[in-house]
Amino acid sequence: MKKVLLLILAISLCVSVIGCGPRRSKRLKAPAYDTQAIAAAAMKQYDLNGDGQISGDELDKAPSIKFAFPNMTAVTSTEIANRVRIWKESRLGLQTASVKLVKDGKPVDGAQVTVSSEDFMGGKKIQFSDTTNVSGVITLTAPNEDNLPGIPCGFYKIEAKYQGKTYNLGIEVGENSGGDSPTLELKD
């Protein structure tokens, strides 16, 4: 009995002190967001009339920004920079998220969906495809070297192909960006 207790004590000591237990994975590093560069690039891409804000038709052509600021009719560089700063301060490597697609209030099953980071985000382009399930949901999981679920915080374009039509949508993924599974409506 003493030998068994000594063996258990030795194994416990080895695991806790020496670290010979299962290898822990390293923390996934958060992307290095350049707050001002992202905001400036977003304005360059979408502020077509140069008035210092994305509004009206410009905002309609920027669905990820419109999603991020749902109650605003105009978005400035400062507002975009503040949002990026929040992601940066969160230090999240990946955020778990999903999106639900509906048409006429009903889940869209079998839509072919391509998710891509907005060009103005800079850095390595993130792009992947999936198909909505019977509930109209896709899980947002970007390819990464550790094969972990999730997607980096950011602004994303969503192209959904359903029943021969293409719908251009967008979302923001972040710590407080519209819940775990925002619903996006496919409108004709």
According to the model, what pLDDT value does residue 163 have? 96
Q: Give all strands (DSSP E) within 22-175, no chain letters.
A: 54-55, 74-75, 98-103, 106-107, 112-117, 127-131, 137-139, 154-162, 165-173
SS3 content of the chain, % helix, strand, coil (to 5): 30, 25, 45
| pTM for the model | 0.83
Name the token pair of 45: 């891409």
Q: Is 123 left (phi over 0), alpha (psi -120 to 50) or beta?
A: left
Closest CA to 159 of 122, 120, 131, 119: 131
Instruction: Express each pLDDT in 27-83 by its tens digit.
Output: 678 888 999 999 999 999 999 999 999 999 999 999 999 999 999 999 999 999 999
Q: How many CB atoms lie within 10 A of CB 56?
A: 12
Q: Which residues, in sequence order, are bridge partners of residue 120?
A: none
For the packed helices 77-90 and 35-46, what is the interaxial angle rounded to 10 degrees?
140
Domains of the chain plus CATH, in order, are 35-185 (2.60.40.10)
pLDDT at residue 162 above 90?
A: yes
**Cα distances (Å, whole numbers) of residue 174 to 66, 87, 177:** 15, 6, 5
pLDDT at residue 2 above 60?
A: no
Q: How many CB atoms lie within 10 A of CB 74?
A: 15
